[in-house]
Amino acid sequence: MLSEDLNRIKRLKAELDAIRPIPEETMAKVMQKFRLDWNYHSNSMEGNSLTFGETKTFLLHGNTASGKPLKDHLEIKGHNEAILDLEDMVKGEVQLTEHKIRSFHQLILGEPYATKALTKDGMETTKQIVPGKYKSQPNHVLTSTGETFYFTEPNLVPLEMEQLLKWFEENQTKNELPTLILAATFHYKFIRIHPFDDGNGRMARILMNLILMMNGYPPVVIKTEEKENYFRALRQADGGELNPFIEYIGQQLIHSLELTLKGANGESIDEDDDIDKRLKLLLGQIEENKKNVVRVKRDPSHVFETVAQSIVPLIEEVISNLPKMNSFFLNISNEITIPLEPSARKTFKNLSQLKESYQTYARNLDDSFPKSITVSISLNGYKHSAEKADFNIQTNLYILFNEYTYTVNSSYPQIIKITLPYSEQISIEQIKTFSKNLLGQWVTMLEAISKS
């Protein structure tokens, strides 16, 4: 009931007024939330393609969303500037005029652009949208029943806008109408005029919120998921029943007042759907090629596949470099070991034995398989100096089978560790790069010993 809503709004407003002045930093946080929600939802309802996360990232950090139209970013930017301008207007107690309304419209829509339209005969055409200018052509719409719903004719817009502002000033001065009724009725009257070629919905919501804020109320945010309820209430108003629309706006105002009171009292102003928005934001910030890369958990089968398809080829590539060291070292050896319970280790003569061992664990679904492999490479007996004959190079490769990923590391911190999920093999390029970098470390040490 409207009377109940008005009483509830009156009580909440009194509670809010009782704790004023609210610290500036506190209100800044509350208003930032309103601004982000308002910018996203009001534009999304009109077809803007930016998600909430993309809107937030763009407004807070200036990062544009890949693949999204520039026009959509400019709309969000302009809408945000209009809200900031509106906030300054409220603080400065500036009068609402036609010039100010056109200025808001120009901020919201930015540069002129062409859009699709229908002729009087229902034929498709295009029309030029000039932000800040009243409509030059009729913008009537076809309803779902095929009937035409008529807005104010272009030549009558200046007169009706003048009358609307006069009506507003008189009622604002008299202070007899509850602010909710004043703001919601202004919204509907503005929509019935439809003074601009585009952006009328966003403008109606901005001007409604301006009236609310001029009277000490927080703004109302019509959420995208409420779009149908909002339009249904507007259609009821078109049929002569304005109260359902006022009641609908009243419910949103109650929510805004409760949210503002929470924030003013130091409570969390995160809403249930805010958590969903934050989750979407986080997901949106993840690059597409990095999403869902971890698909399986460690088990004997996945570890065997990793050993066979990634680890063995990598070790083979590393070992293939050892003959290049024959010209510098007398004794060259390598050893492959795995840990056994409780502290013993098992050594393999070749990679086939290593692969067979893990295959047995996989075949038997035995989860006690070793969770690591160590490859030790020894280069001993430097050939080219009796004084430096004891010079040797000891290199270890460490393969770890973690719960969700496997890693390949070396005893050289300069060489980048490989970390991959079990669903992904080490690429040939990664194998060659790792092996080449390892060989490069040996060459660097040989260069150092030859100069010393």
> The domain spanning residue 36 has which CATH number?
1.10.3290.10
- Examine the pLDDT at 272 and tell me if it is beyond 70: no
Whether residue 225 lies inside any domain: the answer is yes
- pLDDT surpassing 90 at residue 126: no
Does 110 reside within a domain? Answer: yes
The share of the chain scoring above pLDDT 90, in percent, equals: 79
Q: Based on the domain organization, do 129 and 210 belong to the same domain?
A: yes
CA dist., res. 50 & res. 56, Å (int): 10
pLDDT given at position 67: 85
Q: Which of 75, 78, 82 is nearest to 44 (CA)?
A: 75
In a domain, 445, yes or no: yes
Residue 148 lies in a domain: yes
Q: Which of 87-96, 215-224, 387-396 has the lowest mean pLDDT?
A: 87-96
8 has pLDDT over 80:
yes
Check pLDDT > 90 for residue 52: no
* In-domain check, residue 393: yes
Are residues 317 and 278 part of one domain? no
4-13, 120-129, 221-230, 356-365: the lowest-pLDDT one: 120-129
* Mean pLDDT of the region 179-200: 97
> Is residue 399, in this structure, part of any structural domain at all?
yes
HEC string for the chain: CHHHHHHHHHHHHHHHHHCCCCCHHHHHHHHHHHHHHHHHHHHHCCCCCCCHHHHHHHHHHCCCCCCCCHHHHHHHHHHHHHHHHHHHHHHCCCCCCHHHHHHHHHHHHCCCEEEEEECCCCCEEEEEECCCCCCCCCCCEECCCCCEECCCCHHHHHHHHHHHHHHHHHHHHHCCCCHHHHHHHHHHHHHHHCCCCCCHHHHHHHHHHHHHHHCCCCCCCCCHHHHHHHHHHHHHHHCCCCHHHHHHHHHHHHHHHHHHHHHHCCCCCCCHHHHHHHHHHHHHHCCHHHCCCCCCCCCHHHHHHHHHHHHHHHHHHHHCCHHHHCCCEEEEEEEEEEECCCCCEEEECCHHHHHHHHHHHHHCCCCCCCCEEEEEEEEEEECCCCCCCCCCEEEEEEEEECCCEEEEEECCCCCCCEEEECCCCCCHHHHHHHHHHHHHHHHHHHHHHHHC
Q: Are residues 77 and 209 in the same domain?
A: yes
- Domain closes at, from 260, 290, 320: 290
Which of residues 237, 261, 290 is at a domain's end?
Answer: 290
pLDDT band at residue 351 under the 50/70/90 scheme:
very high
In a domain, 295, yes or no: no
Query: What's the confidence (pLDDT) of residue 66?
Result: 84
277 shares a domain with 307: no
My answer on whether 282 and 305 are in the same domain is no
- What pLDDT is stored for residue 269 in this prediction? 87
**At which of 242, 263, 290 does a domain end?**
290
Residue 53 pLDDT level (bands cut at 50, 70, 90): confident
- Tell me which residue range forms the domain holding 313: 300-451
Q: How many domains does the chain have?
A: 2
Q: Are residues 241 and 318 in the same domain?
A: no
pLDDT surpasses 80 at 416? yes
R_g (Cα) of the chain, nearest Å: 35
- Asked if residue 432 has pLDDT above 70, the reply is yes
Average pLDDT for the chain: 92
Same domain membership, residue 275 and residue 392: no
Residue 113 lies in a domain: yes
Indicate whether 280 and 375 sit together in one domain.
no
pLDDT greater than 80 at residue 122: no
User: Higher pLDDT residue, 141 or 97?
Assistant: 97
Q: What is the pTM of this model?
A: 0.63
> Both 275 and 335 in a single domain?
no
Residues within the annotated binding site for ATP? 198-205
Query: Average pLDDT, stretch 59-85?
Result: 91
- Mean pLDDT confidence for 21-26: 92
Binding-site entries:
198-205
Residues 36 and 135 reside in one and the same domain: yes
| Residues classed as catalytic | 194
Least confident of 11-15, 33-37, 147-151, 321-325: 147-151
Verify that 285 and 367 share a domain, yes or no: no
- Does residue 356 share a domain with residue 271? no
Range picked from 68-77, 87-96, 116-125, 175-184 for highest mean pLDDT: 175-184
